[in-house]
């Protein structure tokens, strides 16, 4: 065999061996889309870095919480995170104890802290699902990712991180909802539950910023999401 072809064949074989035995993992997954990225990229690196640091900080915080026996609430290999431009994907295997609770805790931290990462709120839109996913470092793919992306892009519409309706009958989700009923809010317009990110601290900030967008010359496609946001805030 030609030496160059042999090198290429060896590389191909090594890569294939690397993933022998690998497969999808049944996981709880959240897909988050950072809104207004076109405006954000005009900011300095340090400013944008502070925004993206929020997700990593959230995972590290949960990783340093100790529970009975001295074990960490979240081990380093349990929560997998991939950042792709203006999107963040986080998954936790469904076989991990309290996987859904951990994912929601991390997600809530990220969503709420994005709102205060800059001198104006950074909104995200997203979806939480359960399904098969492969995620390792910068590589992430699988049916669950596609489902979450479609829910985020076609159904969430405004600055909501919605819960797949298929999860309403999931035992772990039911237990979590019973223990922490205030974490999710029901949108009466479409019956989707979404993470309640509005607090006494950020409510007025979000409302003022949303109103400023509605009173601006931004296109209707941008204003649409803020109209929904104001609706949730004032009702």
- Tens of pLDDT, residue by residue over 125-152, are 999 999 999 999 889 999 999 999 999 9
User: In this structure, what are the phi and psi dihedrals at residue 13, rounded to the nearest 5 degrees?
Assistant: -65, -45
Tell me the C-alpha distance between 125 and 134, whole Å.
22
pLDDT of the residue at 73? 65
| Structural domain includes residue 203 | yes
| Structural domain includes residue 218 | yes
In this structure, are 122 and 188 located in the same domain?
yes
Provide the pLDDT confidence category of residue 19 given band limits of 50, 70 and 90: confident
Provide the pLDDT confidence category of residue 38 given band limits of 50, 70 and 90: confident
| Structural domain includes residue 15 | no
Q: Specify the higher pLDDT residue, 21 or 93.
A: 93
Q: What is the 3-state secondary structure (H, E, C) of 97-164?
A: CCHHHHHHHHHHHHHHHHCCCCCCCCCEEEEEEEEEEEEECCEEECHHHHHHHHHHHHHHCCCCEEEC
| Structural domain includes residue 31 | yes
| Structural domain includes residue 17 | no
pLDDT of the residue at 225? 67
Q: Other C-beta atoms within 10 Å of 214: how many? A: 15
In this structure, are 212 and 129 located in the same domain?
no
Query: 63-72, 130-139, 226-235: which has the minimum mean pLDDT?
Result: 63-72
Tell me the C-alpha distance between 64 and 191, whole Å.
36
Q: Specify the higher pLDDT residue, 103 or 2.
A: 103
Domain count, the chain: 2
Average pLDDT over residues 93-100: 93
Provide the pLDDT confidence category of residue 70 given band limits of 50, 70 and 90: low
pTM (predicted TM-score):
0.85
Q: Specify the higher pLDDT residue, 62 or 18.
A: 18
Question: Looking at the predicted structure, is the pLDDT value of residue 231 above 70?
Answer: no
| Structural domain includes residue 60 | yes
In this structure, are 73 and 154 located in the same domain?
yes
Residue 64 belongs to what domain range? 22-197
What six digits make up the tokens of 170? 């999931």
Question: Looking at the predicted structure, is the pLDDT value of residue 206 above 60?
Answer: yes
On average, the pLDDT of the chain sits at 85
DSSP string for residues in 73-95 = SS-TTTEEEEEETTEEEEEEETT
């Amino acid at each position: 065999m030609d030496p160059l072809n042999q090198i290429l064949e060896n590389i191909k074989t090594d890569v294939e061996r690397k993933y022998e035995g690998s497969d999808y993992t049944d996981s709880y997954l959240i897909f988050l889309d950072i809104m207004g990225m076109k405006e954000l990229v005009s900011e300095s690196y340090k400013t944008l870095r502070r925004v993206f640091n929020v997700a990593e900080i959230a995972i590290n915080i949960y990783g340093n919480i100790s529970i009975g026996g001295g074990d960490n609430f979240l081990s380093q290999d349990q929560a997998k995170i991939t950042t792709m431009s203006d999107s963040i994907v986080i998954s936790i295997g469904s076989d991990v104890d309290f996987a859904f609770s951990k994912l929601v805790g991390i997600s809530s931290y990220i969503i709420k802290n994005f709102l205060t990462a800059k001198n104006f709120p950074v909104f995200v839109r997203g979806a939480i699902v359960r399904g098969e996913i492969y995620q390792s470092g910068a590589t992430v793919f699988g049916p669950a990712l596609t489902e979450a992306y479609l829910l985020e892009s076609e159904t969430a519409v405004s600055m909501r991180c919605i819960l797949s309706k298929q999860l309403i009958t999931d035992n772990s989700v039911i237990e979590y909802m019973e223990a922490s009923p205030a974490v999710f809010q029901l949108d009466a317009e479409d019956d989707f539950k979404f993470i309640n990110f509005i607090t006494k601290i950020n409510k007025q900030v979000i409302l003022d910023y949303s109103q400023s967008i509605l009173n601006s010359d931004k296109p209707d496609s941008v204003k649409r999401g803020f109209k929904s946001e104001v609706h949730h805030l004032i009702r």
